[in-house]
Every structure is written in structure tokens, then in C-alpha cells.
Structure 1
Amino acid sequence: MTAVVSLVEHAPARAFPLPDTVGRALAASKILEEAAPDSYERGMWRLRAGSKVGVVAVAVPGGETVTVRITPKVPVARLFFLLGYSSDPAGWRDGMVDVAEHSELLPALAHAVERQTDRALRRGLLQGYRTVEEASLVVRGRIREAEQIRRRFGMPLPAEVAYDEFTTDIAENRILRAAVDRLLILPGVPQTVRTRLMRQRARLADITPLVRGQVIPAWRPTRLNTRYHQALHLAQVVLDGASAENLPGGLRMDGFLFDMNRVYEDFVCAALREALRPYGGRSALQAKDVHLDECDSVRLRPDFVWYADSGTPRIVADAKYKAGKRRGYPNEDLYQMLAYCTAFGLPEGHLVYAKGSAPHTSHRVRRAGTVLHQHALDLDRQPEALLAEIRELTRRMVAGVKGRI
């Protein structure tokens, strides 16, 4: 028997009938913002979703499986735009990710991955060179002398060799197979999509599967694998969001989750970087080696810093995907931005929120004169309108820089 719990990102808490073992597992996993026994009714648990969206299944040995589905507030097509633009701003095109009629996250993602994989493999599997290191009775390539001495103690055969093999068993195909395999075991994938995924799985049958916990092989976009690019970006999304955990008492938790905080942050930083390219300089995402104190013991990690051609920091910004307060923005974000401005010696800082209940506002800090701006992006806008809004925001940032040079 399977029970389904449906939640909405950042929506008010609701009570659901759950086995205590499942409720405790959800509470310990930190997947939800709130998971606690109901104070008034036995066997009921109050659940509230935070910024994580997707689907999680908790299996009880010999009992039912409870599936928790968390729906994002933004439309699924808009979510895929945010993800796609973050991974490949130059190659993104509106409507590139087809979600068909699916309004839920996992079915839409599974459909999109299958469609893009089908397009990538339509002309056959991509081939390339892969370095192989093995023990062989036939010498090919080069002999790994150090390994031969360490493992064979001077014996001539088998020989420890390394060679380049032209094969279909390359990183690109292994990533596609891993994503397809992952989607086939997740709950909530429609049967029609599952059937099509099985066809893609048959195409990739000779590709070495990834073992759970194994590092995802690296790939880089080139002219030769152009037709794979979109499929690989979506496959990477699947593998990055996948999670599985064995819990005490024989419970197993398996699912697929996005953290909307991370999705929004990656999108804003990528969009600001692209919008600032015409102005020259250099953009740093998740800037490193930034410290508040002179002894370098208090480390800071601003989401976005733009440096002028001279190497001087000119713009600092942080992306905040939070539900706005009824009367404005959280004050603690201002303290954080003030620390960034102080460390960089900048008179202005920018906080960029997903649209909340307040428009753009700014605060001038007493005795310091530092101006802290709070901006709001409307994620309900169409992609081009949203990017235009970011370009306008960038022009305001640059205007502030020019005004003090």
C-alpha cells in the first residue's frame, strides 16, 4: 500500500496520518521545514515544506510506502528555465525544455530527460577515446612500469598497460545511462514516460552503469558532443538531486529533491555575470579568500562580486530566495551585507530577493554612510522579461559604481 502526502513549498503546515517511524524519519532527515506529532490527535503528524521541492518515498519493511511530494511555487517550466540558464546561459533558448502537459516536478523532469536523450541518441551513440589501465596478456599502449614492479614482482606477464580505446563507453553516455537508471526507480514517474525511458535504457545497455556512491564522470562541452549538451545538462540535474538513505529500523528513504535556495542563487549569479559582460571586468561567484577581520579568521562568502579591470571590487550582491515578511525583508540579511561592504570597502551593497511583499528599498547605515539596497525579482515573469529585469538591475548597479569613480 502506498500513501501520498502532497505539500507546497513554504505553505502553512498541515496534519497527515503517518506511522510514527515515518514521521520520525522525516523529522530527522531535515527534508521538511517542520515534521512533528500533532498535539491534538494521535497518529497525526504536522508537516510543512521549506525550500526543498521534489519527491521522497519512505519505505517501511513489511508495511506501506509513504510518498511525499513537494510542489514548487513557481511553474515547473519556469523552474527548468532557472536550472537551464544557470548551467548554460549562452546555449539556453526559451522552450528548449519540453515538459508537455506535466504540472508536477518529477513527471515533467522525467519527460524532459527522455525527450532530450532521444534527440541526443537519434544519430547513434557518441564515441570517443577513453584511457584504460589494466592487466593484460597482450602488450598494447604503454607499460606502467611502476605498477608492473609493484604488482608483478618482475614477472613479464600479465603486463600492466595503459592505452586509449575508441569506444562508446565514455563519460557522456555513462551520465545519460545513470540519469535514466535513476529516473526508472523513482516513484511518481508516469507509466508512459517510464516506457519511453526503458527504450533509452535499451539503447545504452552496453554502457557501464554507475555504482551508487561512485563519482559522476566529468565531461566538457566540445564541438563533437554538441548534440548531447542539453541532455547532459538535464541528466546532471537528475544526478545532483538524487538522494537515497538507509535509516534505522530497516527504513529506506529514496527520492529526488531540489533546494530552491540553491537554484535561485545559481540563477541570479549566472544572470548577473552575463549582464555585466559588456562592462568588462571579472565576476566571481561564491567569492573566496574574503575575510571580515585583519587577522583573516572570520571568513565571508558573498554570492557575487564584480571586479573592475583594475582588480578592485566594485559590486557585491547576495541572492536570497525567501518568503518575504508581511511588512518587508528580514533584517539579518542587512547585517550580512553590511559585513560584505565593510570587508570590501564598498559604499553600496545589493540583496536580490525573489519577489516578496515589498518593492525595492534601500537603507543608509548611521555613521557609516553605507547604502544597502534590497531588490525583488518577479519569477512569475516570462524568461525574457525576467532577464530584462536583471539587465535593468545591473545598469542601476553600474550607475552607482560610475557615480563614485
Structure 2
Amino acid sequence: MTVVRLQENASWAEHGLTSGQAAALAATELVRIAPGPRPGLWRLRDNGLVGAARIGPRHDPVEVRVQPKTPIDRMLFLLGYARRPRGWRQDTVDAGERPDLVPALAHAFARSAERALRQGVLLGYREREEALSVVRGRIRMVDQVRRRHGLPVPVEVRYDDYTVDIAENRLLLAAAHRLLRLPGVPADTRRLLRHLLLRLDDVTRLVPRGPLPDWTPSRLNNRYHTALGLAELVLRGASYELDDGTAVRVDGLMLEMWRVFEDFVCVALAEALRPYGGTVTLQDKRHHLDRARRVSLRPDLVVNSADGSPVTVVDAKYKTGKTPQEDLYQVLAYCTAMKLNRAYLVYAAKTEAHIHVITGTNGLQIIETALDLASTSDDLRAQIAALAHRIAVEEENPVR
């Protein structure tokens, strides 16, 4: 098996690949690929994703590992603010001394699941519909008549079963199975994951590529929250099953860094703004650029006053260096549609920060700012808190 190691945002790197491996990589678009200086040599670089994946047929696979430029402990901190996964923060996660993303996530999940199950496997009620020889729960009269044609047994019934086969345990089981298939998971973590499979032996496996079961955080499943948040992250990581006639197979955990950064900025900033009053809307779909409402807008974060009217917009960009003009045009469109006098562009890093006062407006300001992702978790929280304070103070003193 060929192993390709890349760094996020690094320059092109040359690797020897077979034509089949190159075709499989090109089909998945997990990395960027171009012909090298001679046959059999290819130029590769990341395509905005980090993690690990195994691509291609079993007899000729290629394993791609993309190392994020952000330190792993900082990555887990950012991922703790992902918009979908619930119930965990980096402070509650033990990733060990793992230098790569997939081993770190696998170890963190295995340890958190182990802690969750120390008090035993969680049980809960699940509604079942079965044909039984005795009455249990309620008889489904319509099904009884349609299927049994007047026969007294078996009886079509619906009842609540107190069982381990519930959504929470199904998610843990599915995440463990998935991590055991991924490349780069060390032997000690695999042992923990296999032990988890034994503990959840009576739980039904999820249907491949089907929707994830929903769960509701509660006092009863509180000890599961960290493990469930990580399980959702693992199961929602970019996974690909391609079959375009060339039998391309892909299995991995690849995360889009722009989405990780955007989620962190939006969720963390929304939490930091809460004490200042008003409301915050993420990915607000209410607004359009034109009166006919054909051109929809979806800003990352909109700060609203107490009556629900927009007062400020924030857009997160996982970019460094010079500000692309299209970013300014995008935010200007938000301000024009919502009649705003101020907006914020939040970058992952900036060499210089600017306040752009837009001509032809009543003093509209587009404010560039940046977060230092190399900072500690506490420093990142402080940067978010400072930005929230700045937004709240400037809302009270709007540009005239």
C-alpha cells in the first residue's frame, strides 16, 4: 500500500503512484493532483481537507494523510464548537499525545466511550411493532385485520421496550466500527474500540449511508454527551463510496477546515454575545439581494436587536494574507440588503487588519479582524470575548 503524507496549505509534493491510484485520487477530489516531471511521478497537495483516507481497490490502495497546520489540541478545541455535534468541549476530551488528527480523534472517542460505559450500558424505551403470540402493549387493529384476516394469533401489537438498542448506543457502535476501518488508528486504540463493540453486542448496527438517529441531551444520558458528540463528528466526517465503473473505494475521515473555522467563530461568538441581549442568527436565510427575492443571501452570523431587526453581520473566512476583494463585495451585499452601517470579516490570520469606510454610503464600515489559531484555548476564548464586546459596544454607538 502506498502512503501519501501531505501538510495543509503546503506546496506541491511529488509522489510515485500507479495510474490506477492516480485515477482514484483524481476521482475523489480529496487532494489536488497533477502530472509530475516523468511517468509514474505525480504532484500532490491538499484540497482544503485534513485527516486520513484509504482510496482505491483492496489490491492497490493509496492511503492519504493530510496533517492540519493547526496543532491537534487546538483542532479539537475548534471541533468542540462544531454546529451539529453536541455535548462536548475540548476540555473534556483526552486525545493523548497523538500528532495526527485521525489517531487523536479515535483515541479521544475510545476513552470517552469507555468512561461513559463504566456505569453500564445506557437503557431506554424504544417503540416496537411486532406480531406476537400474546398481547403486549396496544393491538394495531388495522394491521391485525389486514394481515391476519380475523385470526386471533399472532397479534399485531405496538409496545415500548426497555432496551439497550437505543439511538445513543447505536451512534457509539457505528462510530467504533467506522474508526476501526480508518487508516492510522494505533493498536492500543483499536483494542479499546473492539472492547466497546463487545459491550454493545446487543445493539443494532446503523444502515450504511443512512441518516443518523436523533438523540436529545438529558440528565439520563449526561454521561454519554462527550462520547456522542465525538461519535457524530466521526460519522459526519467526509466519507465517500464511489463506484463509477472503476470500482473506486474510499473510506476515511476528512474534515473541511473552512467549515471547522466557520463553525467555531459562529457558535463561540453567538455564546459570547448572549449576555449583551438581542438575538443571534446563524446562516440567516431570510434575506435577499433583490426585491424579487431571486438572489438569496446567507451570512454566517447576524446580530439582531430585541425587536428582531438586523444590526450587524459577521462573516468568517478561513484565509490568511491579503484580503480578497470578493470578500468585501460579499459583505457589502449583506449590508446593502439589510441596510446596515457596520459588518465584520473574521479571518484565521492577517498580516494587517483594516477598517474600510465605503464610499457612496452613510459611513458604512467593513471591519477586518483575525483570530490567532496558534494561541491557547483560553487565549482563543479571550479573543472571541473581545470581539463580542467590540460588536456590542459599537452596536450601542452606531455610525451615523
- The bucket for the TM-score relative to the shorter chain is over 0.9
Q: What corresponds to 1:340 in structure 2?
A: 334
Alignment of 1:231-242 (within 5 A): 231-241=227-237
State the alpha-carbon separation in 2 of the partners of residues 271 and 239 from structure 1: 23
Q: What corresponds to 2:289 in structure 1?
A: 292
State whether structure 2 residue 374 is matched by structure 1 residue 380: yes
Q: What corresponds to 1:22 in structure 2?
A: 21
Q: What corresponds to 1:117 in structure 2?
A: 113
Q: Deviations over 1:287-346 (max 9, x none)?
A: 122111111111001110111111111111111112x23xx2111111100010111100
Structure 2 unaligned segments of length 5 or more: list them: none
Q: Of residues 178, 181, 184 in structure 2, which corresponds to 1:182? A: 178
SS in 2 for 1:269: helix
1:102·1:108 contact (CA, 8 Å) conserved in 2? Answer: yes
- The alignment covers a number of residue pairs equal to 397
Alignment of 1:19-168 (within 5 A): 19-32=18-31, 34-38=32-36, 40-61=37-58, 63-86=59-82, 95-168=91-164
State whether structure 2 residue 352 is matched by structure 1 residue 355: no
Cα 1:144–1:89 change in 2 (3 A) is: closer
1:149 Cα deviation from its structure 2 partner: 4.2
State the alpha-carbon separation in 2 of the partners of residues 336 and 175 from structure 1: 38
Cα 1:137–1:274 change in 2 (3 A) is: same
Alignment of 1:387-398 (within 5 A): 387-398=381-392
1:252 Cα deviation from its structure 2 partner: 1.3
State the alpha-carbon separation in 2 of the partners of residues 284 and 53 from structure 1: 28
Cα 1:289–1:151 change in 2 (3 A) is: farther
Structure 1 unaligned segments of length 5 or more: list them: none
2:24·2:56 contact (CA, 8 Å) conserved in 1? Answer: no
Q: Deviations over 1:180-204 (max 9, x none)?
A: 1111111111111111211111111
1:148 Cα deviation from its structure 2 partner: 3.5
Q: Deviations over 1:32-64 (max 9, x none)?
A: 2x21222x2111111110321111111335x33
SS in 1 for 2:258: helix
1:89·1:270 contact (CA, 8 Å) conserved in 2? Answer: no
Q: Deviations over 1:226-263 (max 9, x none)?
A: 11010110111110115131333223111111111111
State whether structure 2 residue 203 is matched by structure 1 residue 210: no
Q: What corresponds to 2:364 in structure 1?
A: 370
1:160 Cα deviation from its structure 2 partner: 2.6
State the alpha-carbon separation in 2 of the partners of residues 150 and 28 from structure 1: 49
Q: Normalising to structure 2: TM-score of the pair? A: 0.94
State whether structure 2 residue 325 is matched by structure 1 residue 331: yes
1:134·1:161 contact (CA, 8 Å) conserved in 2? Answer: yes
Letter in 1 for 2:182: L
2:85·2:233 contact (CA, 8 Å) conserved in 1? Answer: no
Q: Normalising to structure 1: TM-score of the pair? A: 0.93
Q: What corresponds to 2:226 in structure 1?
A: 230
1:359·1:376 contact (CA, 8 Å) conserved in 2? Answer: no
RMSD in angstroms over aligned alpha carbons? 1.9
